[in-house]
Chains A and B, each alone.
Chain A
């Protein structure tokens, strides 16, 4: 009986060891892989250009870092092979972009809402990761009103194929400057559409330098909206200040050719050269004078 008790204890110990050991190994195997975060998104630019972008990132040293060169499979409305839009690689910023392929245009138009799915297969760094984003086909318009006012309207397509206004859409209105958006009104960071799907904003940027026609590009940007995705509408409006481009070509500058030396430099340089060489000539003449006196 005692022997049986000892045997059962040993067997229990072996089972516990194997269980813990196996779990331990399994765990160490899974902890060696990092967690991948995928963020798919739908982008519509000027109601014309549309594309899907998937952002891939992971946490390294408590900081989010982009994951580059990662193959991502992007599906539309399901994850069957027939729904595969394309398999794309992320760039150095961890972003993989793809347009909606022409072959999927009929599928795209057949429904007002779609689901975009991004899947990364398991590899040595990450487990299989999947993420989804839903979107509804929408449209954004921008008009200028009297008195330097801007009106923006956001609409979406319903099942009856009607464009209906969308309430409560947050957006930014700004001018494109140095790859960022300069708000059209410094006091308002963002705007929200009313029950008519509209935003009315006052343009409060005076004397903004524009292009050679005095035009500036105003943009309405909706970012990461759960229903609409990312919408951008840009419009050139003539509210900028005409700036005559400065062209230093063929002018007298320090970096011009020798024939275009600045006058002030010519004046200073030649004044010094003439003064000093004048003195030298005078001294050479003195040698001649000394010689003449000696020969007399």
Chain B
């Protein structure tokens, strides 16, 4: 009887809820930003890439920085869901769906933003028809689409048992979606054979997604590392990118945990213990990423080869120094200092540290992509002055911000339609604890 009541309460707590006033404002702002981004993209399509500040030298600006950021953040799905599940870590159960939807929305917008960077997106199909398998760009196209499908399946399989709760809910907040729920999962009847197939599929997915996740970001790093340029000519890039990706993804999960916990009053399910453990992971990953950063910058700085000198000097003490040190301090050093202390691992400080990690990570991607392009091996002579510097145009900012808002909008709508914490898995854990 008590168990039944607990079950009903849990289901009730975890079912999607209508947006409150704050939710409506949040969604409205995201829609406005996305629409403004879409308008800016329309202008770019109409007038061409000339509306951007990208020129002969800086041909990869904030679009590609944004792309790398999205790819990086998408790796969190494989960490929280797959790695933790395979090593039998149960405390992460309430976080798996948050991580997965972050992964799916990020990978969708990574694909969109790469098309935005193309001068003639209508010719995209040529990449598939005539692409060369020798090119890392084709590897990226293949691996991104593969990762998207696997992430979607990893989101879908654990969602199936929750569909029945959505269909049975008396709550009017989900009623209008019933048709959609029926289409995607009314066939789930909790039959032992269904559970067996689903569990097997999830295990296979967890094993498959890890190498694919590593591939997606390694290949993204190779887009740079296979190009002979100061700042990119590194054998360290794959590991450096992956460690950074896990860090930004974990930071994003900290932020999302706090937001969903506050917005949906999930304090009972996303507890302070979750923040504590997730914060420890962020510290570990930040230290790991700091280690790769030291490798990435200290070794070339020690040698100071001529072509690297201008690039590194610009980063350490030149034009990009404020941004560089902000990315290092806000993206790694300060979050480590906050989260090292128990008080810092409480929800609010952990949320602040998470925000710093994510913001720092975005600027770090910008610093990986752009300064290198401003320091080619051959000196830049006889070019217009605006070729020598890069500051994104308003259209670029609008599109980049619009894409970030779009990714957040996908997560927001997902949380409006589906339970953001897996109901079935939470119930099973509750019953196991009770037993």
Contact = CB atoms under 8 A, between A and B. Distances in A.
Interface in A87-111: none
Contacts of A294: 186-189, 191, 194
Interface stretch (B128-136, B231-239, B268-276, B417-425): B128-136
A280 B186 CA distance: 22
A262 B133 CA distance: 9
A276 interface: yes
A273 B145 CA distance: 11
9 contacts: A258-B133, A265-B133, A276-B146, A279-B208, A286-B197, A286-B201, A287-B157, A291-B187, A294-B194
B187 A280 contact: no
A289 B134 contact: no
B150 interface: yes
B112 interface: no
A277 interface: yes
Contacts of A261: 132-134
B275 to A, nearest CB: 33
Contact of B153 (A276, A283, A291): A283
B132 A258 contact: yes
B142 A273 contact: yes
Contact of A290 (B142, B153, B194, B205): B194
A1 interface: no
A254 B136 CA distance: 11
B98 to A, nearest CB: 22
Contact of A266 (B133, B153, B198): B133
A271 to B, nearest CB: 12
A282 B194 CA distance: 15
Nearest to B188: A294
A178 interface: no
A262 B156 CA distance: 38
A256 interface: yes
B200 to A, nearest CB: 7
A280 B154 CA distance: 11
B126 to A, nearest CB: 11
A72 B325 CA distance: 57
A282 B198 CA distance: 12
Interface in A253-287: 254-258, 261-262, 265-266, 269, 273, 276-277, 279-280, 282-284, 286-287
A4 interface: no
A295 B187 contact: yes
A179 to B, nearest CB: 22
A293 B189 CA distance: 9
B149 to A, nearest CB: 6
A283 B188 CA distance: 16
Contacts of B382: none
Contacts of A256: 134
Contact of B204 (A265, A282, A295): A282
The 6 A-B pairs of least Cβ separation, nearest first, read A294-B187, A258-B132, A291-B187, A286-B201, A254-B134, A261-B133
A262 B132 CA distance: 11
B188 A290 contact: yes
Interface of A: 254-258, 261-262, 265-266, 269, 273, 276-277, 279-280, 282-284, 286-287, 289-291, 293-295
Interface of B: 130-134, 139, 142, 146, 149-150, 153, 156-157, 160, 186-189, 191, 193-194, 197-198, 200-201, 204-205, 208, 212
B134 A262 contact: yes
B119 to A, nearest CB: 21
A269 B139 CA distance: 9
Contacts of B130: 258
Nearest to A295: B187
A279 B204 contact: yes
A50 to B, nearest CB: 39
Given A254-B134, A258-B130, A290-B197, A276 B212 contact: yes
A283 B209 CA distance: 13
B63 to A, nearest CB: 26
A279 B207 CA distance: 11
B434 to A, nearest CB: 28
A290 B204 contact: no
A280 B146 contact: yes
Contacts of A279: 204, 208
B133 A269 contact: yes
Contacts of A269: 133, 139
Contacts of B132: 257-258, 261
Contacts of A266: 133
Contacts of B205: 283
Contact of B201 (A257, A258, A262, A283): A283
Nearest to B211: A276
Nearest to B160: A290
Contacts of B134: 254-256, 258, 261-262, 265
B387 to A, nearest CB: 27
Contacts of A262: 134
A276 B208 contact: yes
**Interface-central residue, A256, A289, A294, by most chain B CB under 10 Å:** A294
A68 B133 CA distance: 51
Contacts of B186: 294
**Interface-central residue, B130, B133, B153, by most chain A CB under 10 Å:** B133
A257 B130 CA distance: 9
Given A276-B208, A284-B153, 9 more contacts: A258-B131, A261-B132, A262-B134, A266-B133, A269-B139, A276-B212, A286-B200, A287-B156, A293-B189
A149 B194 CA distance: 90
A272 to B, nearest CB: 8
Contacts of A282: 204
Contacts of A295: 187
B200 A293 contact: no
A255 B226 CA distance: 13
Given A256-B134, A262-B134, A280-B146, A293 B204 contact: no
A280 B153 contact: yes
